[in-house]
Amino acid sequence: MQRKNGRKDILSGKIFPVEELNRFVYLSSHLLFDKDNNLGGRGVYLRKGEESFSLAKKKNLFSKALRRQINPLDLEKIYEEDKEKL
């Protein structure tokens, strides 16, 4: 029996393969976009796409999922620097 490598999307609450998700990590009091899925720290997963990112940001889902207050400037920085990779 093959084990599926899925993670929960913070926007929909559904399980998706890791390849379909982006990982965001709370590390050293900052939210970071984990492009290579290899950073340590507490991470959350969000389905790929600018629309998903914008909706999660609007609903404050990063703060809720990480149980930390996320600086809005961190979200803006991620969006501006990695817009094409989201």
Q: Which residues contact 56 (CB under 8 A, 6 or more apart)?
A: 10, 11, 46, 62
Question: Looking at 18-62, which runs of residues are DSSP E strands?
Answer: 21-27, 30-34, 42-47
Provide Rg for the chain, Cα atoms: 12
Q: Does domain 6-85 have CATH number 1.10.645.10?
A: no
Tokens (6 digits) for 36: 């290579």
pLDDT of residue 5: 83
Average pLDDT over residues 51-68: 96
Report pTM: 0.90
**In what helix (H) or strand (E) does residue 76 lie, and over which residues does it extend?**
helix 72-82
Place of tokens 């989201």: 86
Q: What is the pLDDT of residues 29-52, one digit of tens each?
A: 999 999 998 999 899 999 999 999
Domain ranges of the chain: 6-85
